[in-house]
Chains A and B, each alone.
Chain A
């Protein structure tokens, strides 16, 4: 049995309490949500927090998935399984269901949370690419109050975010705009595996023209999990196969994959193009109401 190094444990009873605990316990304290990234790292002793602040009792406040005016709001403590089951999330952004179907396995999905996924900032995290594609905004709260950060600005490097040690992610907000469709495409070595590469796309069409587009990429070293050059190349173009392939090529050019046991650099780059194209194709079809 792998066992973590010694640590202390506190259970937060409210958001305020959690933030206060983080402040008292200092920078070596960590929030634990689903624990499915943090605990394995602790067992391998790659992470050695001195204290854990468990936020699992804050579900009432932090796990809702709802529409608030023109925003889809997803609580940070919503489980992967909640997002997968959420009709309202699927109604506005099919990409969430596409992605959640291929994240981990049912056991992990029952526990792992949306906020934990984004805060973990694993360079192969699926939801980071999803929220980059739909241009979500994270709502963070610290001792000095609340601030909002675009998910595209949340990650500063592998396993690193802009969150302060005593800041809590409360929820994610995604603007709902008409005429949109979204999709997610992932290649994995086996179900439940982190991606070899994956791409998410959200497009908004004006007739046959791409009015707005978001492209997210993961596991291929794309800065902030996004492909802004490809988006720029596609914006205003006709929503055709040629445009999607061209955007895919641009996305591939601008990412920076590294070789590992999942594959060599050129393969991952190839996938960035292929999966971006596929995601765009499906997102556009959905925007046109042609595909479920």
Chain B
């Protein structure tokens, strides 16, 4: 008989997620679960108009309603200097509107009542007299001379122009284009979509009138950054602010910024002296919180006749909504869009991005986009397919021909990125082998003969994640470095404190595994503390796939500090010189004598004991660090999507999806695959069904889950995942980050597949979402503007 030894899990590899013990049992603790004694409830009145003057607001009936404690308007806030707040992009945003409303769903007044029902009922009793104004809905028309000026609150703002920004070498690019044999141009829209996390945004503010300490439970992906911003905005001393992000039900960038509702719960608590909860509903969330994308792009690609890509040029109009509240590193108002040269070896590239105001909700970083890389990848991968269409080339072959070669790494792109490592052809070849690419093409040819529409879409992406080097990257002046603290208790159990904040990604497991891998401790013995600014070191939070590249590195390094300390303690225990010890994965032992060793647990006890410690250690076993990444990391992947299109209805069925991802070293492959699954589903959603469109008055046409569609298991095929592993050379454990890879790479694979299916109809491009109607229209030769109301 053989017996299986039950050993606790240590280090990298598949292991169940520690957080799921509570999450799958419904024992999570979300903001809306927070109930404090005496807590009051807030609700917002929102604008029914996209653009209107506020003539008057009468709150008397609401104030007299049963259970109502206070009604706050922009006028009240004005007196406190709080009617406007800074955004993360050096603009201002109205907390509550005073002069005008600038998008449908904008915050106008705040009611505080004994319960949520009373607050909602009272909201209806507020009487606002509006004078409707014409709305700017089409970003492409925002800069026309007769467009109404949205931000007349700002001195010197006489148009709807926000910024112009460019990257690359314009002259060199012009030259490459002028001399190229083939130049193809294409308008491409990445429509406005919404992250739509299942948990909407909310907060509970508790201002203690005695101590002056504010505790804010809030849906934040970046609790430390939020604390600092509140300190700057409200003039509260930073040590008297504690931001707690409890369990977060999805963020996707939507919970990076600060919303008026959060501020109003704080104001409400100050005004009433009681804790105030504010949690928005689904419609409010979809209408008012950070959207994503809304990039109107004109791409041009230059190539030789035999398909060598030479250059890329793109002009973008970026719709930022009514307030520029996108969260981007200061130097990069268009985020990392200039990574748009993608995975290819080009001679020149140039992009310009013009940001404009429209009468829509503010935001713009959100939705797993790695700071606009989603738009960039979509653009280049669409352009490569458009080129393949014109050259009658196979899209996979065309890519293979132009992908960067392994020996070109580290590679500096035409717009200045330094790609750290990669083997692109290998990933694409693996995806093609998994798909059975040649057989699929054969099947497609046979089907075309019979009038059946089948499409094979190929996309390759390079991501740039882990922002970022402090010298270049910051949010509102706060450098993007993150801290970590690790403490080993006397019995060898550990507590890791990190600045990043999981919204479901599994940090409590992954980060424990990193510590376990460095110190040989079981995953179960490491508690990960996060999401509470009083308990964790400073750092900028979780978005842009930065947790593993930045905080993961900090965690590995802080564990290595502990290991170094442990070596000195072990040397005292074993009465040898530290130089005579070697690390064996879970213990320090005397070189050449594995029997003579001490585990971290043994060392931890000794470090807290009466043992006399040598020079260089103070006792106990703990360490702190701050990690400032030397570069971003560059995950990549090759995706192939197979679709069938019903020629009679335009309905698209995703039959297969092959995703080969290279995110460097995989800490927990199961969690990586989960991230990829989610991102692929997202991609199918964006490609086929999601858009926030507006009618000509600026009414939001997708403010519920009946209109803004999330994909279900039935739209998703059984994902076929593959991996290659090209470690990042500069990351302590060679990991690159994967949170957004699939969201970045998949929409284009799906769209390319549908366009490939529609080739017999002479369709080269149609914009997302490819609903049955949009596909049918493309087949009729008239693609539509998917971001406007369907005429």
Residue pair A260, B790 in contact (C-beta under 8 Å): yes
Residue pair A261, B791 in contact (C-beta under 8 Å): no
Bound complex: CA A161 to CA B397 (Å)? 60
CB contact under 8 A between A263 and B281, given known A3-B120, A190-B689, A278-B648: no
Residue pair B702, A261 in contact (C-beta under 8 Å): yes
Point out residues on A near B: beta carbons under 8 Å. 1-3, 5-6, 44-45, 105, 187, 189-194, 196, 259-264, 267, 270-271, 274-275, 278
CB neighbours of A6 from chain B (8 A): 117, 121
Bound complex: CA A196 to CA B702 (Å)? 16
Within the complex, the shortest CB–CB distance from A240 to chain B, in Å, comes to: 18
Bound complex: CA A275 to CA B789 (Å)? 25
Residue pair A1, B706 in contact (C-beta under 8 Å): no
Bound complex: CA A194 to CA B706 (Å)? 8
Residue pair A263, B116 in contact (C-beta under 8 Å): no
Bound complex: CA A191 to CA B701 (Å)? 20
Q: Which residue of A lies closest to B711 (CB)?
A: A190
CB contact under 8 A between A190 and B772, given known A1-B116, A260-B790, A264-B777: no
Interface presence of B216 (CB below 8 A): no
Residue pair A267, B281 in contact (C-beta under 8 Å): no
Residue pair B701, A3 in contact (C-beta under 8 Å): no
Q: Which residue of A lies closest to B693 (CB)?
A: A261
CB neighbours of B120 from chain A (8 A): 3
CB neighbours of A262 from chain B (8 A): 771, 773, 790
23 contacts between A and B (CB under 8 A): A2-B282, A3-B117, A3-B120, A6-B117, A6-B121, A105-B712, A187-B649, A187-B651, A190-B688, A190-B689, A191-B712, A259-B789, A260-B790, A261-B693, A261-B701, A261-B707, A261-B789, A262-B773, A262-B790, A264-B784, A267-B773, A267-B777, A274-B649
Within the complex, the shortest CB–CB distance from B397 to chain A, in Å, comes to: 34
Our count of residue pairs bridging A and B at CB distance below 8 angstroms stands at 78
Give per-residue flags for B106-124: 1 if the beta carbon is below 8 A from chain A beta carbons, else 0. Answer: 0000000000110011001
Bound complex: CA A2 to CA B701 (Å)? 18
Residue pair B771, A263 in contact (C-beta under 8 Å): yes
Chain A interface mostly: loop
Residue pair B772, A187 in contact (C-beta under 8 Å): yes
Residue pair B771, A189 in contact (C-beta under 8 Å): yes
Bound complex: CA A66 to CA B132 (Å)? 57
Residue pair B712, A190 in contact (C-beta under 8 Å): yes
Contact of A5 among B121, B283, B649, B715 (CB under 8 A): B121
- Besides A2-B281, A271-B649, 12 more A-B contacts (Cβ < 8 Å) are A2-B282, A2-B283, A5-B121, A44-B704, A190-B689, A191-B714, A193-B709, A259-B791, A260-B790, A261-B702, A264-B791, A267-B773
CB neighbours of B460 from chain A (8 A): none
Residue pair B790, A263 in contact (C-beta under 8 Å): yes
Residue pair A189, B709 in contact (C-beta under 8 Å): yes
Residue pair B715, A190 in contact (C-beta under 8 Å): yes
Bound complex: CA A2 to CA B281 (Å)? 6
Bound complex: CA A45 to CA B693 (Å)? 23
Within the complex, the shortest CB–CB distance from B63 to chain A, in Å, comes to: 19
Interface presence of B627 (CB below 8 A): no
Q: Which residue of B lies closest to A273 (CB)?
A: B648
Within the complex, the shortest CB–CB distance from A278 to chain B, in Å, comes to: 7
CB neighbours of A1 from chain B (8 A): 32, 116, 279, 281
Residue pair B776, A190 in contact (C-beta under 8 Å): no
Give per-residue flags for B645-684: 1 if the beta carbon is below 8 A from chain A beta carbons, else 0. Answer: 0001111000000000000000000000000000000000
CB neighbours of A44 from chain B (8 A): 283, 704
Residue pair A264, B282 in contact (C-beta under 8 Å): no
CB neighbours of A261 from chain B (8 A): 691, 693, 701-702, 707, 789-790
Give per-residue flags for B684-716: 1 if the beta carbon is below 8 A from chain A beta carbons, else 0. Answer: 000011010100000001101011010110110
Bound complex: CA A189 to CA B772 (Å)? 7
Give per-residue flags for B767-788: 1 if the beta carbon is below 8 A from chain A beta carbons, else 0. Answer: 0000111001100000010000
Bound complex: CA A261 to CA B774 (Å)? 10
Q: Which residue of A lies closest to B281 (CB)?
A: A2
CB neighbours of B790 from chain A (8 A): 259-264
Residue pair B773, A263 in contact (C-beta under 8 Å): yes
Within the complex, the shortest CB–CB distance from B690 to chain A, in Å, comes to: 10
Within the complex, the shortest CB–CB distance from A290 to chain B, in Å, comes to: 20
CB neighbours of A193 from chain B (8 A): 706, 709
